Structure 1
Amino acid sequence: MQNLNSLCLTIISLFLIYTNNKILVVQGVTSASDIAALKAFKASIKGSSISPWSCLASWNFSSDPCSLPRRTHFICALTCTPDSTRINQITLDPAGYSGTLTPSISQLTQLITLDLADNNLFGPIPSSLSSLSNLQSLTLRSNSFSGPIPPSITTLKSLQSLDLSRNSLSGYLPNSMNSLATLRRLDLSFNKLTGSIPKLPPNLLELAIKANSLSGPLQKQSFEGMEQLEVVELSQNALSGMVESWVFLLPSLQQVDLANNTFTGVQISRVARGGSTSSNLVALDLGFNRIQGYAPANLAAFPALSFLSIRHNNLRGAIPLEYGQIRSIKRLFLDGNFLVGKPPPGLVAAGTAVSGSLGDNCLQVCPGSSQLCSPAQKPSSVCKQAYRGRPMP
């Protein structure tokens, strides 16, 4: 019996040695350049901002970053290539890390994802990021990065998503933005960017550059060839001039937010025969601009339009009757203008499903039973002054 027990122990020992050897065989050894880049990355973060429970606290270089299993070291924030030799993703936890982004990050040439969002990183964005030729997603959202957007970023030919929003970036947008041929989503909102909008990447689905200091008109050449663009968010800038027909006729456009700019007019002249278009436009916000003249009646030709705001502009004349015939409309905001006359019956009739506001205008009749008629209309003295004593239409 004792011999049998010894034999069993021997077999178990041999099995464990074999198993351990197999583990060693499948364990990769991370490339020296990647380890050096990770060390530089961690060193550029202030030690006082690395909480004991955070991902970076587990980055202990006494073990290999890509070795398996990783139970105590490198427990989160990075992943490795299937052969366990290169780092291909860094997704940093939002743990309040403070520090800079080291230029040595460029050594991680197999990175597909770099996500450092929701921390307190500061300083410039390194131009060396251009070496990350495999990068598909770059997210630096909600940090304190400053300085210009490095033009070298526009050489990242595999990039599909770029989110630099909620930082302190300044200067002009790179003129070579359109070279990002694979880019699908671009968010540069809530920065300090200035100047006009250059020619944009042709395959964008979503464009967001709201809450900056962009200026000048919207130019057709900036959006040339953008057949797939669905969402445009350019509110809270200093964009000016006319919003022309071509904007609304971008073939895939669904949502447009141009509120809080200094646009002075809207031109919608191209409407298909029969009074409608093939547009997919669902939501349009032109509120808080300086748009003058009549409310554009041709907006009623967009068959999917559900949300429309032209609030707080300088619109005059009557509300187009066509607005009461938009079957898809659910929310309509025309308040804060100088509109006169009666609202279209389709908007204020009992049982209508349209919400929003026609208040703060010069309407002579707006039924109190309709919630659209709130708040109250402007005092008649204000309306008369706006029309300079001439009879209101």
Structure 2
Amino acid sequence: MRERVRIDLRRNGFHGTIPEEIGRLFRLKLLQLTNNTLTGEIPATLANYSELKGIAFYGNQLIGKVPDELGFLPKLLGLSLTENSLSGRIPPSLGNLSNLIIFILAANNLEGSIPGELSKLVSLDIFGIGSNKLSGKIPPVLYNLSSISTFDVGFNNFHGNLPPNLGLTLPNLEGVYAEGNQFTGPIPVSLSNASGLLLIKLGNNSFSGSVPMNFGRLKGLSRLYLGGNRLGIGKSQDSSFLHSLTNCSSLRVLQLGINNLSGALPDSMANLSTQLRWLTLGNNRIFGSIPSGHSKPFRPHNIEYGVEHFNGYHSYQYREASKAAIFRLLSGEIPSWVGTFLSLEDLFLDGNYFQGLIPPSFTALKGLQSLDLSRNLSGKIPQYLENLYALQYLNLSYNHFDDELPKKGFFGNASGVSVVGNSNLCGGYSRIAIASVL
């Protein structure tokens, strides 16, 4: 019987251990066992497959160490062991796999440092060791693997600086994942030389200094995660880099929250990518008016401004249009595009320096349950708020509203409306004011 050269058993319900006998299929070239519930250890007998080119065991429940013997498979091109429960260290012997293109050991329990021997993987395209318990510094020689397009060391315990020439030594980078570590120092300005970069994730570290002004050269940049660092030098030019990002026409995610950024929100923010879906600026010292009335509609679906920490920021749970929005330390008029966030359930605009009226576009927020407009506005309370039938909480306190308070719809629920501190209101003011303090 002719021996098989390929075994593909992915996405089945297989359980139990990988049998040692599988090592007798000497001509095997691909072993694909992904997304099952296999347990036990990886057999060292895999080293018998001298013709093996691909090992894919990700998405199982494998335990134990990564076998040293895997480093003696001369033709191996791909090794993916991610999403298991493997422990121990990364074997230095894996540096012998000079033809390896894909190296993914992410989402395990691996410990120790990155062996310098991995710098011999001169054909490497994807390097993924994120979400482990690895520590130490990244070996400098690893940054010389110029063929790497995906560099993932995120969510470990690495420390030290990223080299200033990172974008020069890794010119083919498309994605750099280094979030959730203890990296310090400046963000390398040279990253803009990796012109194919699509994603930069450097959040939740201790990076400091200015955000590079030349990120606008990355025309294809789609996601930029810099939140949770110490970026900013406390001067007005901290926010100047935002202007350059208007050149990134594919930008969908911009995370800058929880830093030390200062300065005014530039008017050019209105010209950010029309594809922008998630923007966070919270927990900084950025101030100014929300841009509006420019050539492009500036209306990201997930948005946060100001100094408040947005619940869920660290959990990265946003996948669809946001259900909550917070704005802080802003001035000017409330932009009408807020009414385009059709999935909003909670909207907090309190404690700003807004002027003018509540925009009519709010009538489209049919699912809105909580609305806080306290300490902001003047004029009349528009009657169209009566039609927000999902409202359960409405705070209009300490504004300068005048004329008569609406009486229909939600305004008939005295316990859910607060209008304290609006001395020029008449109508149902007394009834609601009393209910709001009981």
8 Å contact kept, 2:167–2:193: no
Aligned match of 2:272: 326
Within-5 A mapping of 1:149-168: 149-168=90-109
C-alpha deviations, 1:140-162, integer Å up to 9, x for none? 11111111111221221111111
TM-score, normalising length from structure 1?
0.69
Partners of 2:229 and 2:272 lie apart in 1 by 23
Aligned match of 1:22: none
Q: In structure 2, do the counterparts of structure 1 residues 337 and 146 end up closer, same or farther at CA, with 3 Å as the change threshold?
A: same
AA partner of residue 259 (structure 1): G
8 Å contact kept, 1:248–1:281: no
C-alpha deviations, 1:155-214, integer Å up to 9, x for none? 211111111111100111122333212211122111001122232321112122221111
AA partner of residue 59 (structure 2): D
Q: Secondary structure at the match of 2:134?
A: strand
Q: Secondary structure at the match of 2:186?
A: strand
Cα shift at 1:217: 1.5
Cα shift at 1:242: 1.1
Within-5 A mapping of 1:198-277: 198=139, 199-200=142-143, 201-221=145-165, 224-270=168-214, 277=217
TM-score, normalising length from structure 2?
0.62
Q: In structure 2, do the counterparts of structure 1 residues 377 and 164 end up closer, same or farther at CA, with 3 Å as the change threshold?
A: farther
Matched, 1:54 2:1: no
Partners of 1:94 and 1:354 lie apart in 2 by 35
Q: Secondary structure at the match of 1:165?
A: coil
Partners of 1:168 and 1:287 lie apart in 2 by 26
Matched, 1:303 2:248: yes
AA partner of residue 227 (structure 2): G
Within-5 A mapping of 1:114-125: 114-125=55-66
Cα shift at 1:139: 1.1
Within-5 A mapping of 1:274-293: 277=217, 279-292=219-232, 293=234
**Structure 2 unaligned runs (5+)?**
309-327, 354-438
Cα shift at 1:253: 0.9
AA partner of residue 251 (structure 1): S
RMSD, aligned CA: 3.5
Partners of 1:364 and 1:259 lie apart in 2 by 28
Which shifted more, 306-315 or 363-372? 363-372
Q: Secondary structure at the match of 2:47?
A: helix
Q: In structure 2, do the counterparts of structure 1 residues 207 and 225 end up closer, same or farther at CA, with 3 Å as the change threshold?
A: same
Partners of 1:330 and 1:53 lie apart in 2 by 40
8 Å contact kept, 1:330–1:353: yes
Aligned match of 1:142: 83
Aligned match of 2:52: 111
Cα shift at 1:138: 0.7
Partners of 1:308 and 1:151 lie apart in 2 by 37
Aligned match of 1:335: 282
Aligned match of 1:190: 131
Aligned match of 1:28: 2
8 Å contact kept, 1:253–1:281: yes
8 Å contact kept, 2:199–2:222: yes
8 Å contact kept, 1:138–1:163: yes
Q: Secondary structure at the match of 1:130?
A: helix
Aligned match of 1:364: 331
Cα shift at 1:126: 1.5
Partners of 1:343 and 1:211 lie apart in 2 by 34
**Percentage identity across aligned positions?**
24
AA partner of residue 156 (structure 1): L
Partners of 2:213 and 2:193 lie apart in 1 by 10
| Higher RCO, 1 vs 2 (CA within 8 Å, ≥6 residues apart) | 1
Q: In structure 2, do the counterparts of structure 1 residues 337 and 305 end up closer, same or farther at CA, with 3 Å as the change threshold?
A: farther
Aligned match of 2:395: none
C-alpha deviations, 1:283-333, integer Å up to 9, x for none? 211112222232224533533351322112222221123322335552332
Q: Secondary structure at the match of 1:216?
A: strand
Partners of 2:265 and 2:17 lie apart in 1 by 62
8 Å contact kept, 2:32–2:57: yes
Q: Secondary structure at the match of 1:345?
A: coil
**Structure 1 unaligned runs (5+)?**
1-26, 32-37, 39-51, 67-84, 381-393
Partners of 2:114 and 2:20 lie apart in 1 by 39
Partners of 1:98 and 1:60 lie apart in 2 by 13
Cα shift at 1:269: 4.5
Partners of 1:59 and 1:104 lie apart in 2 by 10
Aligned match of 2:321: none
Aligned match of 2:70: 129
Partners of 2:287 and 2:213 lie apart in 1 by 24
